[in-house]
Amino acid sequence: MIKMKCENPNHPGNNENNLGEGHISEVLKEKGYFVQSSDIINRGYGCVIDFLSFKPNKINGDIITNPPFSKATDFLLKSMEILEVGSKLALLLRIQFLEGVKRAEIFKKYPPKVVYVASRNMRCAKNGDFKNATGNASTYCWFIWEKGFSGNPTIKWFNNEASQR
């Protein structure tokens, strides 16, 4: 799935914030990308930075992450503030992120360029601990923003190959 986000191999780098155990960072590194990884707590991978309190002028590169749903809007707004025009933001979120009056207003200002919807429900587990995970599988999406994009989002689907059954 991360391959869809990596459309520009000449881009200077990728930033994974809220990295957890580094699963997204590792896939990007395997594909040859330079990755700066961080999280609000020390998980033994990357550096410790509170992304929402971090005050860079701009980030040169893209941001890709799976933020806590309760902070997803904050991650979106912070990212759009610090990204350079043309840079991308990719957030893995439940499809319900499309709902809400407040977010509808935010989407008018920052429309996603592409929304990749999972064809099959997926389960996410904190720290990759599926043995102790609670909750049911949900429909997840990769929401992709490109700073400066205006227009209507394109909707595409992923994880619908028979080999993933």
Q: Are the CB atoms for 61 and 11 separated by under 8 Å? A: yes
Is the Cα torsion angle 113, 86, 34, 57 positive or negative in sign? negative
Separation of alpha carbons 96 and 87, rounded Å: 25
* CATH code where residue 67 lies: 3.40.50.150
Indicate the helix (H) or strand (E) that contains 62.
strand 62-65
At 77, the amino acid letter reads: L
Look up the pTM and report it.
0.75
| Parent domain of 141 | 12-164
101-157: per-residue pLDDT in tens? 999 999 999 999 999 999 887 766 666 665 776 666 788 899 999 999 999 999 999
| Residue 6 falls inside a structural domain | no
| Residue 69 falls inside a structural domain | yes
**Domains of the chain: total:** 1
